[in-house]
Structure 1
């Protein structure tokens, strides 16, 4: 039995709490639009944006595999529906998204996240697997990861097997030589074990495990627990 070689991490709610980050990024984006394009600000009420997003997802469910495109196109459409010319609407949406994206990557790590990553990167290949659009370079930890696959780069979001297959391929390892660490019971833990990988439920925000899924064999409430847990997968 080969030893563990690869550890993959989900990002949002695994290495940092994300809800407050997104709220802050959306507010920063709205404030920027209000300051720079006051005539466009009225187009972006929360209800209107929700309605536009719902309509887009109904037309094209695969938007869920590309949250960047969904956000950009939702803003664009809200502006055009508000009377802006398409080209101008697109330009404002793209500029506004840059503001959103910059704020979206200002994260506060869970306790121990950076130290644990640095410690594990000494002995294992690390990879990032996310359905979101976090940018590891902007966050400042890209140097710790051998690769970063996302729903956008792969074209399919977890729990589809594509991202896990890409991770194994990138690292050149077999499924039993890899462990995936993530917060989502279905998209991370269940999906990884279905793909033959080991898995650790990072339950850092204390959520209940869904009754319809088999209980996780390994779970942590604090990232500091991970370095002691990882050697168990070598046996």
Structure 2
């Protein structure tokens, strides 16, 4: 652990989820495959398309409605429907198939196993701090069997604009009845987790997977999330 700024008294630990408590890349890859399989099963073979087709519709929707980016689930669902409509499917069919495909995606997306060592760390930290989760993604702390150690989880879209906007950090402080500086936010994204949390007035612990060069320092830098055990009195 590298300490760049002296930590002030901490009452709560806020965790990013994706790529902080687990490797998210295989999770997303499996979810994308589940979505494509569901689409292939419900579309006529002549209309089967590749992943780039759906990605292009996501990009197009974001261009016409930039705010949709703050709700990844709704963005994916509406872009699926838009893609299906572009294939000349009736509105009712496009809506039904989009919901089936998104359902397949989200079921696989929320199938996450957190290593037992991480679970043990969370259990130990929860004895001394309030734990919360703040995520831009769709992961669910209850479905990954770690919800028992968390007070709550905030998700971009339903709970505010995505990080690095301050919405979710400030909402978390309000729900905890704490000042932002009493929260230490832990995450792997320098932009979303470090800059976002600092701008909201929180303290920050950056999980640096790649030994990256940065211009804005967190309070502490971690190379392994297990280093947080140093915070246990």
Shift of 1:181: 0.3
Q: In structure 2, do the counterparts of structure 1 residues 116 and 153 end up closer, same or farther at CA, with 3 Å as the change threshold?
A: same
Equivalent of 1:181 in 183, 186, 197: 186
Aligned with 1:3: secondary structure? coil
Aligned with 1:179: secondary structure? strand
- Provide the aligned C-alpha RMSD in A: 2.0
What does 1:20-169 correspond to in 2, within 5 Å?
20-35=26-41, 37-39=42-44, 42-109=47-114, 112-169=117-174
CA contact (8 A) 1:67 1:132 kept: yes
Aligned with 1:219: secondary structure? strand
Aligned with 2:143: secondary structure? helix
Q: Distance in 1 between the 2:205 and 2:99 partners?
A: 37
List runs of 5+ in structure 2 lacking aligned partners: 1-6
> Can you list the C-alpha shifts for 1:2-38, whole angstroms capped at 9, x where unaligned?
8321110011011111111101111022123323x14
1:207 alignment partner in structure 2: 210
Q: TM-score, length-normalised on structure 2?
A: 0.90
List runs of 5+ in structure 1 lacking aligned partners: none
Q: Distance in 2 between the 1:164 and 1:187 partners?
A: 11
Q: In structure 2, do the counterparts of structure 1 residues 42 and 230 end up closer, same or farther at CA, with 3 Å as the change threshold?
A: farther
Which segment drifts farther, 111-120 or 74-83?
A: 111-120
Structure (1/2) with the larger helix percentage:
1
Shift of 1:134: 1.1
Q: Distance in 1 between the 2:10 and 2:38 partners?
A: 47
Q: Distance in 1 between the 2:179 and 2:43 partners?
A: 54
Q: TM-score, length-normalised on structure 1?
A: 0.89
Shift of 1:147: 1.3
Aligned with 1:154: secondary structure? coil
> Can you list the C-alpha shifts for 1:180-226, whole angstroms capped at 9, x where unaligned?
000000110122122221110112xx224344x32333111222210
What does 1:187-226 correspond to in 2, within 5 Å?
187-203=192-208, 206-211=209-214, 213-226=215-228
User: Are 2:13 and 1:13 equivalent residues in the alignment?
Assistant: no
The number of residues matched between the two structures is 227
